[in-house]
Amino acid sequence: MNMRILILGDLVGRTGRDAAVAALPGLRAQTKADCVVVNAENASHGFGLAPDMADALFAAGADAITLGNHAWDRREIIPYIAKEPRLIRPLNFPPGTPGNGASIIPLKDGRKVLVAQLMGRLFMDPLDDPFRLMEELLVRNKMGVNCHAALVDFHGEATSEKMAFAHNFDGRVSAVVGTHTHIPTADHQVLPGGTGFTADLGMCGDYDSVIGMAKEASIYKFVKKMPGERLAPAEGPATICGAFIEVNDKGLTVRIEPVRVGGRLLPAMPAV
C-alpha cells in the first residue's frame, strides 16, 4: 500500500502558525496523508519555536516538526527538544547539541518514516558536511529494513546545493525537499532513481511581505543600508505552502505535487 506524506514549509509568525494549526486536520483528511511533517523554525514571531507552539502543532496532526538555523532563538525549546524525538533540528549541528537531527517516526498504521534535516553550507553557517553525515545516517537506516520511507528536509539558501544533495542520494531516500528561502519553487519532480524533489516548499505565511516579514522594515534596510526597526512578521492572510508526496512499498516516490491553500498565491491541491 502506498504511503502519502504531506510536508509544509516554514511557518512564519502567528499568521502562518495559526493558519497551519487550523488547516492541518482538514488537509490531512483531504490528502489522506499517512504522515505529516511541518517546518516550524520561524513560528515564534519569525524567529524560533516555543514549546507550547510545538504542542499545538502535534495536537493538530503533525507527526514530526523540523527546525533550521533559527532552532535556538527561543531558548526554552532546548530542554523540550532534548526529550521530544519528533522535534528535529539539523543533523550537521556540532556533536553534543541537544536533540536529534533525524528520528524514526512511528505512524498510526504501524509503518515507520525516517525524518531527517540537514542544513546547507552555501551562504549559511559553517557546519559539518551534510553529505557525509547523510551517508553515515543511511548506513544505520535503510528503507525496507528499519523504516518504510525516508524524508529529508534540506534547509538551505542555494538551490544548487539542494539539487546536488538530492541527486547524490537519489534512490536511497524517498524525498528531499528544500526549506528556508520561503519562496515555493516549481521544480517538483521524481528523480531518475525514484527520489522526489523540490528546491523549496515555500512558507506558511503572508505573501504580501518580504519572505514573510513586514515590508516596510525590510525595504528600509535595503534602501537606507542603516539599522532600522526589528523585522517582524507580516500579519495578513496566510498561504499554506507545502508538498504532497506519494511513496510506493519500496519507499520510492511515485508522485510529488505542490500544495498551496489560501492567501495570495495561486492555489494547488493534488487529486487523491
> Mind telling me the catalytic residues?
70
For residue 30, the Cα-to-chain-centroid distance in whole angstroms is 20
DSSP helix/strand/coil, 221: helix
226: which 3 cell numbers? 542603516
Instruction: Report the C-alpha gap between 162 and 6 in whole angstroms.
Output: 19
Dmax (CA) for the chain in angstroms is: 56
Cβ pair 9, 45 in contact under 8 A: no
54: which 3 cell numbers? 510545538
φ/ψ (deg, to 5) at 239: -100, 130
**Burial label, 1 (beta-carbon count in 10 A; 0-12, 13-18, 19+):** exposed
Alpha-carbon distances of 116 from 29, 59, 152, rounded to whole Å? 24, 21, 5
CA geometry: angle 247, 253, 254, nearest 5 deg: 90
What are 100's strand-pairing partners? 88
Query: How many Cβ atoms from other residues are within 10 Å of residue 139's Cβ?
Result: 7
φ/ψ (deg, to 5) at 14: -60, -40
Instruction: Report the C-alpha gap between 184 and 260 in whole angstroms.
Output: 9
- Tracing cell 507527526 back to the chain, one arrives at 63
